[in-house]
């Protein structure tokens, strides 16, 4: 028995020539356009507009989105490659590109044909930008606790609420917004939440403060205020009152991208540490000649490759439509983000004093990695998901963990 999977076949990571060609094309985009701007992004806290334009020309916004909805096709593996390669140099730019998945995935999974045509197509083509507004001052992990309201009035809803930490909100044309359409039912706290597509230029939508968070300089999140926003009923995504399922299912898919972002961070930090250890001399020899440094690098590589395998395994299962991708994507997100944190901290230490200088381009990996352990479900929440899924899917036990 290969607990909790049935066969060793289930551990396959399926990558092919097309994936490798894609990785190479992203790598050359990164080397040509992103690498020369990486330090500037950190220092100015701004992503140059031409990078978004180049990403559009290459069709990067359409990766993972079916061709019939304006995308480039390709699945979770392709998206993971994109995320890993961009994050290796600029995790902030990676999330600026990938955040549109938090808008397109719920519509592709639960939306109507009209919603897919009207909203997914322009986003996939890079003509419009999109964000995902769920978190509120009261509640992030506790999605069922959100307090924004959506009141049905004839053929539309009136939404009121305040969302915080919304990535890409400033640039977005469209938003996925969660709000309560009804109070929860007894023993069903999650019931009564609904998901809507909101256009940012509709009356009542305001972009508030920018949060001065520790990392992802250039793509810091904003507050979104919804003040009597009139939303047509046809912009409801999925069944009314069942939006909790829409949101949780979305994160099942999108957190593979966060695992891949963490793998890219770990890869970038590892490469910088290895190069520095080879070239920096101390006590008359390269510092890689000291066991204390060499052993750190060995441990970093071990963890990096383990994180990469878990991530591409989760992506492979998701592409095969194997439901066990849910538990695997939580394993990958949790492990890879914590590995990224450890590797980037070690990479700084290997650099000594210059490691904490922004100019070296290594310290931001630690600041960025910290955020990956928090967003799209903190790692504590991932651990709950892992145990819940394990018991539910493999033992038929429904566990209430608090």
Ligand X SMILES: Cc1cc2nc3c(=O)[nH]c(=O)nc-3n(C[C@H](O)[C@H](O)[C@H](O)COP(=O)(O)OP(=O)(O)OC[C@H]3O[C@@H](n4cnc5c(N)ncnc54)[C@H](O)[C@@H]3O)c2cc1C
Residues that bind ligand X (CB under 6 A): 131-135, 139-142, 165-167, 213, 216, 221, 371, 374-378, 380-381, 384, 402
Of all residues in the shown chain, the one whose CB is closest to ligand X is 140
Spell out a b/e string for 219-236, using b for 16 or more CB atoms within 10 Å of the CB, else e.
bbbbbbbbeebebeeebb
**CB of 349 vs ligand X, minimal distance in Å:** 25
**C-alpha dihedral, 185 to 186 to 187 to 189, nearest 10°:** 40
Q: Say how far apart CA 79 and CA 90 lie, in whole Å.
A: 16
**CB of 376 vs ligand X, minimal distance in Å:** 6
Nearer to ligand X, 14 or 380 (CB): 380
Q: Which helix (H) or strand (E) holds 180?
A: strand 174-180
**CB of 263 vs ligand X, minimal distance in Å:** 19
**CB of 19 vs ligand X, minimal distance in Å:** 27
SS3 label, residue 124:
helix
Annotated catalytic residues are 376
**C-alpha dihedral, 270 to 19 to 49 to 201, nearest 10°:** -120
**CB of 325 vs ligand X, minimal distance in Å:** 20
Q: Say how far apart CA 121 and CA 125 lie, in whole Å.
A: 6
- Residue 130 CB partners (closer than 8 Å, separation 6+): 99, 100, 102, 103, 104, 119, 123, 168, 172, 173, 174, 175, 176
DSSP secondary structure string for all residues of 68-103: GGTS-B--HHHHHHHHHHHHTT-HHHHHHHHTTHHH
**CB of 131 vs ligand X, minimal distance in Å:** 6
Q: What angle do CA 276, 279, 282 make, to 5 degrees?
A: 95
Give burial (CB, 10 Å; 0-12/13-18/19+) of 402. Answer: exposed
Please report the beta strands in 181-277, taking only residues with DSSP state E, as ranges in sequence order: 193-199, 205-210, 222-232, 236-237
Nearer to ligand X, 141 or 275 (CB): 141
């Amino acid at each position: 028995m290969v607990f909790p999977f049935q066969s060793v076949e289930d551990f396959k990571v399926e990558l092919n020539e097309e994936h490798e060609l894609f990785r190479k094309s992203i790598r050359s985009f990164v080397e040509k356009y992103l690498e020369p701007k990486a330090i500037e992004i950190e220092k100015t806290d701004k992503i140059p507009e031409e990078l978004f334009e180049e990403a559009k020309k290459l069709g990067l916004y359409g990766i993972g989105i079916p061709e019939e909805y304006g995308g480039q096709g390709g699945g979770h593996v392709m998206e993971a490659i994109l995320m890993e390669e961009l994050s290796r140099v600029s995790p902030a730019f990676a999330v600026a590109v990938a955040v549109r998945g938090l808008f397109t995935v719920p519509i592709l999974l639960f939306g109507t044909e009209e919603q897919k045509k009207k909203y997914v197509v322009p986003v996939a083509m890079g003509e419009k930008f999109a964000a995902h507004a769920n978190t509120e001052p009261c509640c992030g992990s506790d999605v069922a606790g959100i307090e924004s309201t959506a009141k049905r009035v004839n053929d539309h809803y009136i939404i009121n609420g305040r969302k915080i930490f919304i990535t890409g909100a400033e640039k977005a044309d469209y938003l996925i917004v969660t709000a309560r359409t009804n109070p929860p039912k007894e023993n069903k706290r999650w019931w009564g939440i609904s998901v809507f597509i909101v256009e940012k230029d509709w009356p009542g939508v305001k972009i508030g403060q920018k949060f001065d968070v520790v990392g992802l300089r250039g793509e810091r999140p904003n507050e979104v205020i919804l003040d009597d926003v009139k939303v047509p009923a046809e912009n409801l995504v999925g069944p009314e009152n069942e939006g909790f399922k829409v949101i949780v299912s979305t994160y099942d898919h999108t957190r593979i991208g966060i695992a891949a972002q963490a793998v890219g961070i770990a890869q970038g930090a590892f490469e910088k540490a290895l190069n520095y250890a080879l070239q920096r001399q101390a006590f008359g020899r390269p510092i890689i000649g000291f066991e204390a440094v060499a052993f750190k690098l060995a441990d970093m590589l071990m963890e990096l490759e383990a994180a990469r395998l878990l991530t591409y395994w989760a992506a492979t299962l998701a592409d095969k439509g194997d439901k066990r991708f849910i538990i695997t994507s939580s394993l990958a997100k949790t492990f890879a983000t914590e590995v990224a944190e450890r590797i980037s901290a070690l990479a700084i230490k290997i650099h000594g004093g210059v490691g904490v200088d922004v100019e070296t381009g290594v310290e931001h990996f630690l600041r960025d990695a910290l955020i990956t352990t928090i967003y799209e479900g903190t790692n504590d929440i991932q651990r709950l998901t892992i145990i819940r899924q394990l018991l539910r899917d493999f033992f038929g036990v429904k566990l209430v963990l608090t």
